[in-house]
Structures are given as structure tokens and as C-alpha cells.
Amino acid sequence: MKRTKRERQLLLQETIEQTPFITDEALANKFGVSIQTIRLDRMELSIPELRERIKTVATTHWNETVKALPIEEVIGEIIDLELDQRAISILDIGEEHVFSRNKIARGHHIFAQANSLAVAVIDDELALTTNAEIKFTRQVVEGERVIAKARVVGTDINARTLVEVHSYVDNDSVFTGVFEMFRSKK
């Protein structure tokens, strides 16, 4: 169904308000137009590009700040945080994250995103990983976006906080981990 430019722009604005992390490529597919058309529509509507939308959503939705480490030390961009409950971060896999020969992401970047998110979700000035059970479930390649979701699941017999992290590319699981976290307050 062919829409007028005005109809498309109204739907575009509505779609981005409902799903601010949608890419220009996904929008182009949804509306059956080119990526360039989406970019021009966004410019006309003064809608920033995805990276800026992510930063805006993150700063307007956080009522709390990361306590256990400086925000710039978190690997990836935190887009949601509720201390001692849950957190979400995004890591765009670029050339600096992959092996040059096959463009597959180096595992330590995927682990670092998950581990730093497990630290960031802790509501304490000191949070250290004491143990981690991890599993890589599929390769990640250059150009993919990894979304890590952390959830505090409880405490163990040593009164350590357990944080479960699941990382995805689109809807594909790429990493899972359970992190045992030492904290100064119990």
C-alpha cells in the first residue's frame, strides 16, 4: 500500500516514539522505502539518528546512576538501569572488536559487556566479580548489535549477589552468564 509522504512521516514518528531503538534499515523495510528516504524523513522531522536516540532515552529514563564503576568504564551503552534489579546495554560490534581475518567478534568483548553490566546493576560503591559461569551460544560478527540484559536473581550461600546476563543479536541468544558478585554492603 502506497502512502503519501505526510502519512509515512506521521507513521515514522509514531513508530520511533514506540520503539526508539529501531534502525533506519528496519524502518525502510517496514515502510517499503529506501534507507535514504527514511534519513531524509527523519531530518525533516528533526528526529535524531539511532545513536542519539539511545543516549536521549538512557538519560531521560534513568532515575539512578551506576555506583560500582564510572559510567565510561561500562562496555557498551547502558540504555536501562534499575539498581539491584535489572539493566540493559547495547554494544555495536565494529572493526575494533573483531578478528581481521574472519570478522568474528573476539569473545572478550562480549564477556566484558556482560560482566560490566553485572557490576553496573549492583547498588553499591564496590562490586567485584568473584565467579562466573558463562556460555557463548553463537558467533557475533562485525556490524551486529549485541543487546545484553542483566537481572539480579538473588544471593548465594556466601551472601554474594547473583546476576544473570543474557546477550542477544536480534532474537538470537549469543551469550549467557551467571555472575557471582561480591559487594561491600549486604
Do 34 and 71 lie in one domain? The reply is no
Radius of gyration, CA atoms only, the chain: 19
Separation CA 108–CA 110 (nearest Å): 6
Do 136 and 105 lie in one domain? The reply is yes
Dump pLDDT digits (tens) for 83-137: 899 999 999 999 999 999 999 999 999 999 999 999 999 988 888 999 999 999 9
Residue 152 is assigned to a structural domain of this protein: yes
Residue 175 is assigned to a structural domain of this protein: yes
Residue 17, pLDDT score = 84
Residue 153, pLDDT score = 95
Residue 55 is assigned to a structural domain of this protein: no
Do 105 and 16 lie in one domain? The reply is no
Report the CATH number at residue 40. 1.10.10.10
Do 78 and 17 lie in one domain? The reply is no
Separation CA 72–CA 166 (nearest Å): 21
CA 50 to chain centre: 12
Residue 56, pLDDT score = 62
| Domain extent at residue 111 | 62-183
CB neighbour class for 33 (10 Å; exposed up to 12, middle 13-18, buried from 19): middle
Residue 23, pLDDT score = 86
Residue 161: CA count within 13 A, CB half-sphere: 26
Report the CATH number at residue 165. 3.10.129.10
The number of folded domains in the chain is 2
- Of 152, 176, 153, give the one whose Cα is nearest residue 165: 176
Q: For the chain, what is the mean pLDDT? A: 88
Dump pLDDT digits (tens) for 26-38: 899 999 999 999 9
Q: Which of the four pLDDT bands, split at 50, 70 and 90, describes residue 82?
A: confident
Residue 41 is assigned to a structural domain of this protein: yes
